[in-house]
Structure 1
């Protein structure tokens, strides 16, 4: 069983869903792990824990939307078809490239376009 769980986070979500694990519990552990690792990184790489940076509106919104995304992903992997869920999940890469180009003037290289073609195929 441990070999199947270690094959990828998406497959792990699928197996947890099939075993009856509630998506909200998976979300709780995901959020807790992110909070602890984020706090550790903040303490290690900043000059101190400054509440105005940690509790700013953009950071809090990013956390809320990440949690909502994880929750919907858990539900999708539990109830949905595996290939459809994987396709939708990997489409995030395409959106990231588009948003990087539109908002940050990032120019995708040839490997990026190759990856997009593989995802679409």
Structure 2
């Protein structure tokens, strides 16, 4: 299904590109929060589909779990946005919408029988091709020559690529075989992992609001999983 692969690749690469722009022009917490709005947008897309298609139904309890989880994200990250950052903020909202679109397309590819390895491979190809086009934009080339890049930077880049590929494979399998709203709720757990890593590795402060937010994320994910299992068994 080349059309679906192309749509998933374009929406995914654009979502990442806009998010990287936001990371450079917004406080990191704000950029991450806007990106995690993809789960909220998935719920919005499904609710709109249900409104226009009588045959489509949405479990409002799972939508509620996503809302509680996003509240937890906001408590952990506590995003801020200055007036001169509104443009970057709007791009961040667009990034979340495009990411949600990509997740919906990943689900469609899974339903079409495409294996996750093939989905991730063609997404990587699209990312490589579209990413290379950035070199055509004046001033966007890498000012460092290859010999000037330290060896540890190559190792770090390899580590990012390896973990990202594994995460893509797992995410693709989850959206292809699981329930979209449950996956959207569990996706917030990335914030909890980052919260724990920040405390253990970087001596980040242990704030009561962040602990409360992390607890809400975990509880909403557990509720979504158990509710979905009960509904499937029933």
User: TM-score, structure 1 length as denominator?
Assistant: 0.68
Q: Does 1:13 align with 2:111?
A: no
TM-superposed CA distance for 1:91, in Å, is 1.0
Do 1:13 and 1:78's aligned partners in 2 also have CA atoms closer than 8 Å? yes
User: 2:146 corresponds to which residue?
Assistant: 50
User: 2:183 corresponds to which residue?
Assistant: 85
Q: Which whole-Å CA distance do the structure 2 matches of 1:60 and 1:38 have between them?
A: 18
Correspondences of 1:94-113 after superposition (within 5 Å): 94-107=192-205, 112-113=210-211
| Equivalent residue pairs, number | 119
- In structure 2, list runs of 5 or more residues that go unmatched: 1-6, 8-44, 47-96, 221-234
Which range is displaced more, 24-33 or 97-106? 24-33
The alpha-carbon distance between structure 1 residues 81 and 114, as it changes in their structure 2 partners (threshold 3 A), is same
Please state whether the residue corresponding to 1:56 is helix, strand or coil: helix
RMSD of aligned Cα (Å): 3.6
Structure 1 residues 82-102: Cα deviation after superposition (integer angstroms, max 9, x where no partner): 344334322111001110121
The alpha-carbon distance between structure 1 residues 56 and 111, as it changes in their structure 2 partners (threshold 3 A), is same
Q: Which has the larger radius of gyration?
A: 2
User: TM-score, structure 2 length as denominator?
Assistant: 0.40
1:25 pairs with one of 115, 118, 121: 118
